[in-house]
Amino acid sequence: MSTQGITLNRYLWQQYKDDKIELDLLMVLEQMAYAGKILAGEISRAALVGHLGLAGEKNATGDSQKKLDIYSNEVVIDAFSHLGLVTAIASEELDEVELIDCGYDTPYILVTDPLDGSSNTDVAGSLGTIFGIYRRESTGLCATEADALRSGTELVTAGYILYSTSTILVITCGDTVQGFTLDPNVGEFLLSHPDIRTPESGKVYSANLSYYADWHPHLQQYVDYLSDRTDKSQPTSLRYSGALVGDFHRCLLQGGVYFYPGSNEQEDGKLRLLYECAPLALVAELAGGKASTGTQRILDIQAKSIHQRAPLAIGSTSAVSFYEQFLKTGTS
């Protein structure tokens, strides 16, 4: 069946009619797409409206905030405020869970990194938005922080938006992963990557090698192995953009592995479990890939704090398993 012209709205309504998605979740995903459209437009003209550069503040995890970080966080919060479906948001840019819509029947919790890769804003590099949706468990009028402190296995849906040469929305829908590209001529996300499946292996790895000296010796040996061009049976190429979404998207479609391990200074790495690692791990697994700390499945980790960090290796199943093996033994 041709997918030409299938809008996100049409696709989601078909999933609803087939009893594969609930109506309220359909509306949440449409609202996330709406936020993505706003951000795509603002990112494309950020240099023209004074939204480049630092904001002079640090976020809850100590990172310097860009002006677009703050703007993106406001856009996402505004998109879901008073919708009657999302009661609270846990965001990289917020110190604590923010209640946006109290009500006994408000069903969902949103966890998000509104603007992944914001160091790329001033150089027109790729950026992204990562999100995950949990079903609220508390029964009071308002949600609590505990509603957001969950394991990735409890995610109802997750996905990301990539802002690059095109704007692409990738979502989990039931047990599948679907990709939609924003057509600026009609202002709609159109189905462009149906039923995404990650290749079993790949020839690309993504990592910030500037931290090589601070990594475990076994990981140094792993990088040395990947970089060794004398073994022509295992040719690999380094691709690193500085945006998790951009690097993961390449691995999702073409195979390979992205990794951000712990280091001497940061034992658990840099990435946040709740709103970066877990949502992308769900996408990876439902597309046939794998996500691990190197020793543990990402989705099995119970979050204990909003900004908890976790090492991450994500991508093709065989590539991540090979990473785990090297971390354990220091050899292939």
Active-site positions read 63, 69, 92-93, 113, 115-116, 276
5 φ, ψ to 5°? 85, 5
Name the residue among 280, 279, 261 with its Cα closest to residue 269. 261
Give the separation between CA 25 and CA 1, rounded to whole angstroms. 25
| Cβ–Cβ < 8 Å for 255, 220 | no
Contact 103/230 with Cβ under 8 angstroms? no
Side chain identity at residue 3, one-letter code: T
C-alpha 202/C-alpha 74 separation (Å) is 37
| Distance in angstroms between the alpha carbons of the first and the last residue of the chain | 43
State the amino acid at position 109 in one-letter form.
I
Asked if 278 and 233 count as a contact pair (C-beta separation under 8 A), the reply is no
